[in-house]
């Protein structure tokens, strides 16, 4: 699955490749006090999914020293991106635009984020949760998202949990494969 997602989804930013970004951040990711995602493959998958998504807005919830915001911005520089002031991004006037939410830190999320995710996200939205262990606030959030009727696809990729909200993905669309 990783190979399919990272090789089929081609990089649309030829002037700024993933390999270059990974080599620039390698020293920081290898440092002992770094608290973000360390594995290159996980970062590459998030990078490719960001390129693939139709999101117009993005929220990144990560530790302060994380390199993840750099990867998201490099993948889609035109996206309206927020790492700190997430309340403004969720409640702004463009609520019909698809939203990309990437959660890297395992801590209880602010109430307004949980409220947004428990409701109906705009069509084309995607939630990516980094959960290396099968417990904690992020894992319980993934379980809650799986019960959301608007969530059409839920993918467990080991360390990454992906939930896609898209009306076009329904039982009739893929009935031939069942």
Structure tokens of 46? 């998030």
> What is the rounded CA–CA span in Å between residue 138 and residue 103?
8
145 lies in which domain range? Answer: 2-177
> DSSP string covering 121-135, please?
PPTTEEEEEE-SSS-
Pairing of strands 125-130, 99-103: parallel
Does an H or E element contain 160, and which? strand 160-165
Question: Tens-digit pLDDT profile for the chain (178 aa)?
Answer: 565 555 555 555 554 578 888 898 999 989 888 888 888 889 988 988 888 888 888 888 888 788 888 888 888 888 888 765 555 555 554 567 888 888 887 666 777 777 777 777 888 889 999 888 877 888 888 888 888 888 888 888 888 888 888 777 665 555 444 3
If one counts the domains in the chain, the total is: 1
What pLDDT, on a 0 to 100 scale, did the predictor assign at position 174? 53
What is the CATH number for 69?
Answer: 3.40.50
Cβ neighbours for 15, distance < 8 A, ≥ 6 positions apart: none
């Amino acid at each position: 699955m990783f190979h399919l997602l990272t090789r089929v989804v081609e990089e649309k930013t030829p002037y700024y490749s993933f390999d270059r970004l990974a080599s620039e951040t390698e020293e920081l990711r290898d440092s002992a006090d770094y608290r973000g995602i360390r594995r290159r493959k996980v970062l590459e998958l998030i990078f490719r999914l960001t390129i693939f998504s139709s999101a117009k807005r993005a929220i990144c919830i990560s530790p302060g020293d994380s390199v993840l915001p750099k990867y998201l911005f490099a993948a889609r520089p035109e996206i309206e991106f927020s790492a700190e002031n997430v309340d403004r991004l969720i409640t702004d006037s463009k609520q019909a635009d698809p939203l990309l939410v990437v959660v890297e830190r395992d801590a209880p999320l602010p109430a307004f984020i949980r409220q947004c995710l428990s409701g109906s996200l705009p069509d084309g939205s995607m939630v990516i949760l980094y959960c290396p262990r099968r417990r904690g606030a992020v894992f319980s959030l993934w379980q809650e998202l799986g019960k959301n009727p608007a969530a059409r696809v839920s993918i467990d990729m080991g360390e990454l949990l992906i939930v896609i909200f898209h009306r076009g993905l329904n039982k009739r669309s893929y009935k031939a494969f069942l």
